[in-house]
A and B are shown apart, each in its own frame.
With several copies, the nearest count.
Chain A
Amino acid sequence: MQRILNDPDNIVDEMLEGFLKAHGDIVEKTGNKRVVKAKKIKADKVGVATGGGSGHKPAFIGYVGENMCDTAAVGEICSSPTAAAFLDSFREADQGKGVACLYGNYSGDNMNVKMAVKMAKREGITVKTVVANDDVASAPKDQPEKRRGVAGEIFMWKAGGAKAALGGTLDEVIAAAQKAIDQTRSVGIGLTPCTLPAVGHPNFEIKEGTMEVGIGHHGEPGIEVCPLESADQMAKRMVDIVIGDVPFEKGDEVAVLVSGLGATPVMELYVLYNEIEKLIGGRGIKIHRSYVGNYFTSLEMMGATLTVMKLDDELKELVDLPIETMGLTQI
């Protein structure tokens, strides 16, 4: 395992220390060492909280900052933060107008958030939640409650964070974030596995010459293992899966996000995006804004995800709002 580590059991805490040192202009620490907050949370606005397991940089702490998330709870690698961390993140995010907790659909996160929301309520903090479930490959269309949240969470945070920054009420923020994720679909293709530092070897295999279509952000198996394809074929597969799963039609405007899973050279993400853009354009869908880079990763996995969000006027305004975070700065 060729990695930059001290004690693998401390990696999350050390990473957080380094992160806080490097981004002191954007984020700051809190009383809970597993909770990071934005430096300048505007008073008198709805708080936007998130959280999730580590190993997905920039997610989740990389999306804390002005006009995006106010706080993030930080879990172990691939594991939900504790309920206590979520609770503290709500406390930090709350400016008296309630908190929107926008997170991804994983069993651990669901349990911990649920508990934290209950505890927050006892303290008089109103927390409402939106659970991202954009990963088309993770369950059939008629079981949206089973679908995982993946890179589409970024659009959810963008919409929710922007709505809160623009002065939206808690219900409006929740509605905007919910609409964003409802209009968003994602799919991933995995090319190589990843190794959890404390485990020391990959915990799943992707055979050389094959690819795992629909892989999850923790290496969860996808829909299909098939022979490795060329970039244009991968793009076609991804676009078919994503665009085929509702809401997109000819004439739509969309935001597109192509994220590497960590170790795929960014150069190749542009090769992939070049093909994706042709295919989406070819369907008469207009790309209003696009993001290409390592936005939501899985340690050192190779591969990429495609996320598409259908825009209406509100979502367009929200997506276009400037933000400054470690993961995404938009002027």
Chain B
Amino acid sequence: MGTFYNKDGKSVLQTVVKGIQENKAYLGEVDGLIGDGDHGMNMNKGFSLFETRFKEEEFTFAEGLYELGNILFSEIGGSMGPIYGTILMDAGEAGEDFDAIGTKELAQMLETGLEGLYDIVEAKVGDKTLVDTLAPAVEALKASDGDFKSALQDMKAAAEKGRDATKDMVAKFGRSSRLGERSRGVLDAGATSCCIILTAMADGILEYL
């Protein structure tokens, strides 16, 4: 089983921020191949802004997700503002009242985020977007038998598999969708950053388990 306290969330968020910061250049490269190359720079700017602004603050895991999403949404813009903004704010809101967070709670939070995303984008699994990472990760959590540690490992594995799967897809949405067949053969930038976020989140949580 296993849970971690919502109030211990700050260090989890810090791990997530670090994950994006360390991959700024890599995400730029991935986005550069079939997009415009700004994914790493914008994600890094938003996540770092969150880090600095809330350095001295206390916040829960759910609050942190919400505030991070809010910064992306209201200060970074781009595609990531509405997309990660919605996912993170909705996930955060869904977790507001939790005291302890385990497999079920995390699944519920992330699923709410994914559903929020579905409200604003039409992308489905297979369209070469971050949905390909997030959706299977949520499924993995939901399908897990309950042990949080192994659920988190399952989620990581599913996210990675989802991300890798975008490589062979043809983009249907976003900037690279105009390339048709030319978009095949490279990872999707959003799927890649989403995997980094989920992996770092899992690793951050695992520290408490």
User: What is the interface of chain A, defined by CB distance below 8 A to chain B?
Assistant: 9, 53, 75-85, 106-108, 111-112, 114-115, 138-139, 146-148, 196, 198-199, 203-204, 216, 218-221
Using A85-B77, A111-B121, A221-B182 as known contacts, say yes or no to A78 and B82 having CB atoms under 8 A apart: no
Q: Which residues of B contact A (CB under 8 A)?
A: 25, 28-29, 31-38, 40-42, 44-45, 73-83, 120-121, 173-179, 182
Residues of A contacting B177 in the complex (Cβ-Cβ under 8 angstroms): 107, 146
Residue contacts A-B, CB under 8 angstroms, 20 given: A76-B38, A76-B76, A78-B38, A80-B77, A80-B78, A80-B79, A82-B77, A83-B74, A84-B74, A108-B79, A108-B80, A111-B81, A111-B121, A114-B120, A199-B37, A203-B28, A203-B29, A204-B33, A218-B38, A219-B32
Check if B81 sits within 8 Å of A80, measured CB to CB.
yes
- Majority SS of interface residues in chain A? loop
8 closest A-B pairs by beta carbon, nearest first, are A203-B32, A203-B37, A79-B78, A218-B36, A82-B77, A108-B79, A111-B82, A198-B41
The answer for the CA separation of A107 and B120 in the assembled complex, in Å, is 11
Chain B residues in 8 Å Cβ range of A220: 34-36, 175-176, 178-179
Q: A198-B44, A199-B28 are in contact. List 12 more A-B contacts (CB 8 A).
A: A76-B45, A77-B41, A79-B77, A80-B79, A84-B73, A107-B175, A108-B78, A112-B77, A114-B120, A147-B178, A218-B175, A220-B34
- For residue B37, which residues in chain A have a CB less than 8 angstroms away from its CB? 78, 196, 199, 203-204, 218-219
Write out the residue numbers on chain B whose beta carbons fall within 8 Å of the beta carbon of A146.
177-178
CB closest residue in chain B, given A195 = B37
Which listed residue (B36, B78, B80) contacts A203, Cβ 8 A?
Answer: B36
Q: Is the interface of B mostly helix, strand, loop or mixed?
A: helix
**B81 adjacent to A108 (CB under 8 Å):** yes
Residues of B within 8 A of A219 (CB): 32, 36-37
A199 touches B41 (CB 8 A): yes
